[in-house]
Amino acid sequence: MVPTVLVFAGLDPGGGAGMAADIAAIGALGGHALPVATALTVQDNNRVHEVRPVDAAFLVRQADALIDACSIDAVKIGIPGSRENAAAIARLLRQLRAADPALPIVLDPVLASGHGDALGAGSAIAALAELLPLATILVPNLPEARALGAVPCEHVLVTGGHGEGEVIVNRWLRDGVEQRAWRLPRLPHTYHGSGCTLAAAIAARLALGDPMQAALEHAQDYCHQALAHAFWIGPGQRIPRRILHTH
C-alpha cells in the first residue's frame, strides 16, 4: 500500500500553497495525500485577499470519513483557519494517537502569508496553542520561531529563508538542543508555498518510514530542487516545481 498523509490545509486557488502544495509534494515523494479542507481562500501567487474557515463540524466529518476507511501513516497540518478548527483537529489527533502512539505529526505554524496577510479568523498563535503539544516536529521560519518562543515539540526545524546573506541555514533542534544545521545557497527569487512544500515533504518521508534525520535531509533536498526549478505564472512570487520532470 502507498503510505498516506492526512493533511489539514487551506485551499489556494492559485495552486501555489496550502492543499495544492501538499498534494503535489507528498505525491512526488511516494506518498498519497488525504486532504481535509480547513479554509477556502481568495488569493493569487502574491497576496491572500480573503479567508473563510470551514465549519468545524464539517472539518471533522471530512476527516472521520478518511480515518474510518484508511490507515493513516502521518499527519501534516497547515492553517487551521480558526481556533474552533484547531480544537477539532487536536481532538482528531488525540484519537489517532490513542490508536497509534508513534504517529508522526508535522506542524507548519503558518502565522501569516509571506506578504503578512492573515490566514484565518482570530489569533494565529492562539489557534496553534492546542496543536503544538501534539506535534512530532514543528517547521517554523525565523519570524514564526521568534513569535512562538519556547515550544513543547520534541523536534523543531527552523528554516532560515527569511534571514540575510547568500547562504540559508536550517537548524534542527531536539528538545531545544541543536542537532544539525544544513547550509543551502540562497536562490534568487521569492516563492509561493515553499514552507508548505518542505513540511509536506517531511511528512511524506516520515510516512514512508524514514527516521527523523533522513526525513529532514530528503525533504530539504527535494524542496531546494523544487524551488530551483520554480516557474512563473504572473509577476511576483514563483511557484515551486514540485513534480520534477525526469525526461
CB-facing half-sphere around the CA of 131: CA atoms within 13 A: 31
| Residue 208 or 150, more confident | 208
- pLDDT score of 237 more than 50: yes
Whether the predicted pLDDT of 87 surpasses 70: yes
pLDDT of residue 53: 95
227 by DSSP, 3-state: which? helix
Across 141-152, average pLDDT: 91
Rounded distance between C-alpha atoms, residue 18 and residue 22, angstroms: 6
CATH superfamily for domain 4-228: Ribokinase (3.40.1190.20)
Neighbours of 154 (CB within 10 A): 14
3-state DSSP assignment of residue 76: strand
d(CA 149, CA 82): 21
The proportion of the chain whose per-residue pLDDT surpasses 90, expressed as a percent, equals 83
Would the pLDDT of 226 be above 60?
yes
Task: State residue 126's pLDDT score.
Answer: 82
Q: How many residues does the chain have?
A: 247
* Gyration radius (Cα) of the chain, Å: 16
Q: Per DSSP, what are the bridge partners of residue 10?
A: 39
Helix/strand/coil for 178: strand
Place of cell 503558518: 110
Average pLDDT over residues 1-7: 96
The band of 107, judged by pLDDT with boundaries at 50, 70 and 90, is very high
Continuous segment of H or E residues that includes residue 194: helix 194-207
Reply yes or no on whether the pLDDT at 116 is more than 70: no
pLDDT over 50 (residue 171): yes
How many helices and strands (H and E) does the chain possess?
Answer: 7, 9
178-199 pLDDT per residue, tens: 999 999 999 989 999 999 999 9
Neighbours of 228 (CB within 10 A): 15
Q: What is the pLDDT of residue 114?
A: 67
Rounded to whole angstroms, how far apart are CA atoms 109 and 115?
15
Bridge partner residues of 181 (DSSP)? 171
d(C-alpha 200, C-alpha 195), whole Å? 8
Per the prediction, the chain carries an average pLDDT of 93
